[in-house]
Amino acid sequence: MAGFICILTETLPAGLLPQIGEGLGVSEAIAGQLVTLYAAGSLLAAIPLTTATRGWRRRPLLLLCIIGFLLFNSVTALSTSYTLTLVARFLAGVSAGVLWGMTAGYARRMVPDVLKGRAVAVAMVGTPLALALGVPAGTFLGVLVGWRSIFAIMSLLAVLLVAWVLWKMPDFPGQAAAKRLPLRKVIILPGVRPILFVVLAWVLSHNILYTYIAPYLAQAGLGGRVDMMLLIFGIASVIGIWLTGLWIDRMQRLLVMISLAAFAVASLLLGISSQPAVIYLVVPVWGLAFGGAATLLQTAIAEAAGDSADVAQSMLVTAWNLAIGAGGLIGAVLLETLGVRSFPWALFTLLLLALLVVWRAKEHGFPYASSRE
């Protein structure tokens, strides 16, 4: 639920830019910076704040993050000042950066060893649900009843979640001072750097296409089907994370390789042909392949980092957000110079590099099941 609120808070403005711009008296391009500031908050806060709070008890820290969403979404709902709204969005992103840094480690501590991967899959399901259902529903309701009402609803969800956490969530101590590795030592732990590279390559390839899906579909004569394609992608992503949850504790390495290979083959098909029939085939494969990415990568880095999992997770969050930003930038350059038909080949190259790194990281990072045992 926290992940659902986090992703919905981040992405919802993209679907309501005309309404937000009108409400704050700015252009759509300027209103779009509400998304940028949120991402910047996550990017800048994840590593330093996760490092600074790794000695805190887990439940109070989680509650503080959720209360952050309650407070800053409430400010966004009520503010008539563009500057104040930007500040609220940045601070909401800070809350998100800390939340993503602790989520996987918290979920893994609630269950026995044989269910740790599945626990992360369950904890991560809010992300594809927010993208597949929350954003379209929020956009529809935002147009119907006003964008401020949607941010108020998210604040209400945060209130309910605070009560839920206090009622049901177990608490765990933070990391003992004696076990806290310096940041520079965490990043050189065996397996951490290969995983971070795969995060960058995988998420970058996804975001080049996802960010510019509208112009890509337009050149294929499907410009009026963007919402349908995103819905298909979202539903396939939910199925992908469900399948990942079923199998991750038995075949994590194989799932990573299958997902990357399926995405690479899908990209190759798009490079060969952009006919509508091919796109209708590729989009669900893309969703299935990417749906479990967060779970697979967070589980891999948690296992590689051991007691320093939360700090390593914050590095993953930073790499993920860098890849999102770079996807928008590199996609824009490709769009303006080589056109949208260059996207599949860029994706294919990145995914092959990621596959090569996974293949080589068979001892640390993406080990065989027997290696982890």
Sign of CA pseudo-dihedral 76, 54, 317, 256: negative
Q: How many residues are present in the chain?
A: 373
Close Cβ partners of 45 (under 8 Å, ≥ 6 residues apart): 93, 94, 97, 98
> 23: which 2 tokens?
């409400």
Equal fold, 2-174 vs 183-372: yes
Residues in the chain predicted with pLDDT less than 50, given as ranges, are 370-373
- Using alpha carbons, select from 222, 214, 260 the residue that is nearest to residue 240: 260
Q: What is the pLDDT of residue 369?
A: 66
pTM over 0.85: no
DSSP 174: -
Q: What is the pLDDT of residue 370?
A: 42
The answer to whether 319 and 327 are in contact (CB under 8 A) is no
Q: What is the pLDDT of residue 373?
A: 43
> 213: which 2 tokens?
């899906």
> 78: which 2 tokens?
């009520």
Distance between CA atoms of residues 213 and 236, nearest Å:
16
Distance between CA atoms of residues 252 and 231, nearest Å:
27
Q: DSSP readout, 86-142? A: HHHHHHHHHHHHHHHHHHHHHHHHTS-GGGHHHHHHHHHTHHHHIIIIIHHHHHHHH
DSSP 42: H
Cα 147 to chain centroid, rounded? 23
What CATH number belongs to 2-174? 1.20.1250.20
**Residue ranges of the domains in the chain?**
2-174, 183-372
DSSP 189: S
Cβ-count burial of 272 within 10 angstroms (0-12 exposed, 13-18 middle, 19+ buried)? exposed
Question: Which residue is associated with the tokens 């090569």?
Answer: 356
The answer to whether 300 and 366 are in contact (CB under 8 A) is yes
Close Cβ partners of 83 (under 8 Å, ≥ 6 residues apart): none
CATH topology of domain 183-372: Growth Hormone; Chain: A; (1.20.1250)
- Residues 168-177: pLDDT tens digits? 999 999 887 7
In this structure, how many other beta carbons lie within 10 angstroms of the beta carbon of residue 287?
27
